[in-house]
Structure 1
Amino acid sequence: MRFLPEGEQQRLLTVCFARSGLTLEELWMRYFALGGSQSLLELDAYLNSLTTLPRVDRDMLAHAVNERLDELAGPARAPYSHSVRDGKPLHGPLKALVDLLEGAHRAPPERLPAVAAAAGRALDLRIGVYLADYDQRTLVRADSAAELDIATTVAGDVFRRAGTAVTRDAPGPTLWTVLLDGVERLGVLEIVPTDDADPDDPVLREQCRWLSTLLGHLVTVTTQYGDGLDVRRRRRHRGSPAELLWQSLPPLTGATDSVVVGASVQPAYDLCGVAFDYALSERLARLALFDAGSRTGDANHAVVSALAAYRAARRDGASLAEQYAAVGRELAGSATVVTGVLAELDLVTGGLRWLDAGHPSPLIVRGDAVLPETGEVATGFDRPPRATEVRLRPGDVLALYSSGLVRATDRAGTPFGRERVAECVAGGTPPPETARLLTQAVVAHAGGEPAADAGVLVARWVPR
């Protein structure tokens, strides 16, 4: 620790004491209240450079003067005998972090773009926030009407790859980086250096990475208690069945160091009868997909009830068979038949077991090969399940999908089919992007929104 020379401290303290407007008696009273033990005469002698004081007493005097200067709001403060760090960083990455956290405290969601801009200024950056719409086709600027197409722009490529890129168009270079909440892609950040910094600088990129991660988390948290950012992500009206289902679904992406999961559903704004779920732990990945087939209010309520019953049983520690039975009890008496698949993947051994209720069997891709399907039986959760067990190999991809996804037809009546699903899953892209591309391929095949909900849950086993 570095100590200030006593003579210099005394000189600066005397100057600040004069600015404080305190009398000697008032200063002594404040010093005494802090625990000082020197007399009024000894303080007077010290301030006139006639004697010295112990370091602790000098610092008490400095604190007494500073308390008064704080009341006056502004004048320079008296120094302590040792160097003291500022309570709040004044510049650099730590200031950007503090600005972001302090700015987001009690901030409504729509204020986050301004908070991000303020944090960027501490790093000499100009920051723009773009969020993906619910169809995951467009990136919309959070604080303006600007839009960027995900399929054709550099920013869209950054979103698709969950990566980083630099453009060097006028008026200067721009760094684009994906906006993440954990592993879920929310959008991208547009970052423009204002101090001629090189956007390829690895230190700058690292700073932008943690800024993106923290901001992504704040976007998710604040959206839970306000609509400001959610409204920006919507391109059109979302019906009440879809609203209910979206509130029930987990994030579209989940991951641990042993498994990566990605999901997608269409039509995003009119979703009605398909729901997915997953739960990841050190040892297990639990996956589920429910499909009510039709797109009616009764179907919507039935699939939400099935999802809730499954989660309740799973969180109670129930076995896979008990989870299946819990869903069956919940749906007993319902006029809507809900099919589905419940699966558990052992992340240590690769052992996969699933129970299906009248649903297309999961698709497993190993390299470029597709494991044979086990067939489909016409039943629901009111019938005994069919159990299947296989052993995955590292890198295998598993896909659970709705009937509406494979049965979506083009104008000639040709269904999308399991073969096209396998082609998309075997493409080698990460599961979140695989799921997005697959449902959009279904929409393109159908020439618009498919007649039945198209949903898919993709998981890749990547053991440590």
Structure 2
Amino acid sequence: MPFLPEEEQRRLIAACFARSDLTLEQLWMRYFALGGSLSLLELDAYLNGLVPLPRVDRDMLAHAVNERLDEVTGPARAPYSHSVQDAKPLHGPLKALVDLLEGAHRAPPERLPAVVAEAGRALDLTIDVYLADYDQCRLVPLRPGAAELDIETSVGGDVYRRAGTLTRDGTLWTVLLDGVERLGVLEIVPAGDADPDDPALREQCRWLAALLGHLVTITTQYGDGLDRRRRHRRRGSPAELLWQSLPPLTGATESVVVGVSVQPAHDLCGTVFDYALSEERAQLAMFDAGVRTRGANTAVVTALAAYRAARHGGASLGEQFAAVGAELEGRPDTPAVSGVLAELDLNTGVLRLLGAGDAAPLVVRRGEALPVTGPAAPRFAAAGEAAVTELRLESGDLLALCSRGVAETTDGGGEPFGRPRITGHLGRDAGELPPEIARRLTRAVLAHGGGAFRQDAGVLVARWVPR
């Protein structure tokens, strides 16, 4: 690989430093943070052409200057000792991934569609990004002027529901994932005579979708541009508090998949969930205040925090239950909280459950609901030892934790949705992915309630598939 002459590199670095608005001390601090070991005096002498530097130090210094130029001026950069063009791919899948990474570096969320379009051009593709709204009803395009897609009826919606890939009329559709969580879909149109069914192309698009999914999640954490597109109305402050407390709606390991749906997304008030997955076990929880009052969100967040603190400290299932009870008993003015704590041994399938109040878990095996019998405490309590219900799951079994609002939502005639309908939907959709099972059940509750949620509807579904 050819190297740039040392004096030429020094001259260009010094010129770029002069445009960077950095003091010599600030430049030295950046260079030092990258691992440089030279003194401030030695750095000054090098920039003025008085002493040479080893190539690795020259490149660290160039990088320190370039980081500053990226912040203030744009593309003109200090050169490295070797030609970047010799190292950077000019076309194909690797160039697309490099373009995506470089374009997303320091980019605000709103710039992501343009970054994706540039990466697509490296693969001779036109790419449109659609993100699922928080109601999980529609796929919202990031390209201005494009139409939204209905999740239930559109091709893109079918890809989202199945978390898969398909081609239709020369267009490739693939699900957009952050790990295992569905974020939306990509609509990909190959240029010219390229075949969207080409296995190599589909694999390249899968790489692109996986990386883009991570970038969507990361950029959403420090900007509102993408998050705002997924909201169809303003989220109330209680709902904002609850959403900030929740883990992702999907989590998975080789042995278990967890999917959750909680609605109404913009007005969530008194239902939260949690899970923790490891090699050995899955720990699951749902807390429900059963009412939509000012104190409901405080009550369930308090229960959630107590549960997490106990779990993080290595407490047993019974100790977690008692920790939640102790915290809630210290707040007598908050609404009563019901809930379920579950612990699944991923090696043996042994499931241990503790319930409080009206919460009742369900197990579905080969499309049929199994009775989960065992005493439930009237409330979370710090004193006494709660009775643990224990059963053994079989491979492929579903465990469902539902908030009270799922069964208690009534139609226009006052008939509640009820547990028979819950078990019917779980059995009918048992072959789908857990997040899709949960989404469909909350959508059915919404339809039963006449298009409005009068109570929170929370559904957590876990499927155990031993390795």
Report the CA distance between 1:282 and its aligned residue: 0.3
Q: Which residues of 2 match residues 229-308 of structure 1 at below 5 A? A: 229-308=226-305
SS of the equivalent of 1:386 reads: coil
Q: Counterpart amino acid of 1:246?
A: W
Q: 1:429-461: CA deviations, max 9, x gaps?
A: 111100000000000011122321110100000
Q: 1:329-353: CA deviations, max 9, x gaps?
A: 2111332101100000000000000
2:457 to 454, 457, 461: 454
Q: Counterpart amino acid of 2:415?
A: T
> What is the match of residue 334 of structure 1?
332
- Check the 8 A contact 2:338/2:359 in 1, yes or no: no
Q: How many residues align?
A: 396
Q: Which residues of 2 match residues 23-422 of structure 1 at below 5 A? A: 86-145=86-145, 146-168=147-169, 173-332=170-329, 333-335=331-333, 336-374=335-373, 379-382=378-381, 384=384, 385-422=386-423
- Check the 8 A contact 1:132/1:186 in 2, yes or no: yes
What are structure 2's unaligned runs of at least 5 residues?
Answer: 6-48, 55-74
SS of the equivalent of 2:95 reads: helix
SS of the equivalent of 1:447 reads: coil
- Check the 8 A contact 1:361/1:375 in 2, yes or no: no
Report the CA distance between 1:143 and its aligned residue: 3.0
- Check the 8 A contact 1:130/1:140 in 2, yes or no: yes
- Check the 8 A contact 1:360/1:375 in 2, yes or no: no
SS of the equivalent of 2:410 reads: coil
SS of the equivalent of 2:295 reads: helix
Larger Rg over CA atoms: 1
Report the CA distance between 1:301 and its aligned residue: 0.6
Distance 1:84 1:142 in 2: 32
Q: 1:26-58: CA deviations, max 9, x gaps?
A: xxxx9x9699xxxxxxxxxxxxxxxxxxxxxxx
Among all aligned residue pairs of Structure 1 and Structure 2, give the percentage whose two residues are the same amino acid.
69
Q: 1:414-443: CA deviations, max 9, x gaps?
A: 111111111121222111100000000000
Q: 1:230-250: CA deviations, max 9, x gaps?
A: 000001121111111111111
Report the CA distance between 1:144 and its aligned residue: 1.9
Q: Counterpart amino acid of 1:348?
A: N
Report the CA distance between 1:377 and its aligned residue: 5.1
Distance 1:451 1:193 in 2: 46
Distance 1:122 1:136 in 2: 32
- Check the 8 A contact 2:367/2:426 in 1, yes or no: no
Alignment TM-score, normalising by the size of structure 1: 0.81
Q: Counterpart amino acid of 2:372?
A: E
Q: Counterpart amino acid of 2:441?
A: L
Distance 1:419 1:378 in 2: 23
What are structure 1's unaligned runs of at least 5 residues?
Answer: 5-12, 14-29, 36-72
Report the CA distance between 1:386 and its aligned residue: 3.4
Alignment TM-score, normalising by the size of structure 2: 0.80
> What is the match of residue 444 of structure 1?
447
Q: 1:260-298: CA deviations, max 9, x gaps?
A: 110001111111000011111000000000001111120
Distance 2:52 2:151 in 1: 65
Q: RMSD in angstroms over aligned alpha carbons?
A: 2.7
